[in-house]
Structure formats: structure tokens, C-alpha cells
Amino acid sequence: RVLDALELSWDDVAQASVPAQADIVLVPRDGYASGARSSAEGYVNGDGESSALERDPYPRDELARLTGMNPERFRSCTVIGDSLVPEVPPNTRAIYVPVETHVGDGLYVVAIDDALVVKRIQRLADGTLKLLPYNPDYEPETLTPVKDADTENTYRTETGAIAIVRFVGKVVYYPKAA
């Protein structure tokens, strides 16, 4: 909004404020994802929020060094909720690489129905997903695949509810307190 008011672009800011030898990448921010108590408490983006995709500047070389990956594909979201405390405090910006499937246990951004959540996910041999909190005050959650479902990625929650689970990205970086 400030850039629009000043009639500037991110490129203008990058050229004016970053030394010539530094190279930045503008990581698109997708809004919020909940690190809440359970998957049922996810965050639904787009309800009255700006539809303009915001971007955050990061040093390209530093992101590549920290993640071992090319940062051009990265996305980010702001983690809300406290099930990932103390590892990931609320309002932490998490950077992820988009994925469509589980690619090894770890921290993921997933859409459960229409709500985004950030959870540590472990996939068991039968396809069951274990959503694991870092916060010891919270219990793990189990999502069991529905084998005969008409829709792909259909899971049954512990309460018996049916949910569609879609992998959005695997978290590759988030800042940690010193």
C-alpha cells in the first residue's frame, strides 16, 4: 500500500536500498496458516482481506545457503496459533517450497478443506497422517485415509468428520530466536 501511494515498485525499492552486490528475491506471501490446537481450527484466507499478493524481500544467497535450494520457487505464510510453540512462535513467517504430496516427514503447510494449517506431519505406511504439535499442551491428531471415497485426498478425523487434505508446501525455513 505504501509503495502504491509513493508510486513505487518492489524493483525500485530493491535498487535504492540494497547495495549493488546484494541480490534479493521477493518471496510471495500467501496470508496466514494456523498452527492451532487442531486441524479444525485452520485459517481461511481471503475473507475480507486484500487480494493483492504481497512479497517479502530476502537475500537470495542467504536463503540458498540456509535451505540448499533455489529460492525462486519459495512462498511464505505467517503462522498463527501456538501448537508449534516453542519451535515456531505465533506470527513467525515460514518459507516453504510448493509441493502437492508428502515428500518426507516434516513441517508442512496443508489445506484441510478450505483452511490452511502449518503442522509437523508424519505419514504412516497405510497413508494415515499424524499431525504432531511441538507444544506439549496439545495432543497429536490422526487423519485416516478413506479408501472408498469419491474424492481424492479424503480423510476421516478422530471425531469422525470427513475432510479433504491437500498439501500446499513443505516448510524449508523459519527464523529462530537467538
As given in the structure block, the three cell numbers for residue 120 are 509437523
As given in the structure block, the three cell numbers for residue 107 are 513441517
The per-residue pLDDT for 2 is 78
Is the pLDDT score of 18 beyond 80? no
Is the pLDDT score of 92 beyond 90? yes
The per-residue pLDDT for 152 is 92
Q: Is residue 59 within 8 Å of residue 67, measured between CB atoms?
A: no
* Mean pLDDT of the chain, nearest integer: 87
The per-residue pLDDT for 10 is 74
What is the C-alpha radius of gyration for the chain, rounded to an integer number of angstroms?
Answer: 18
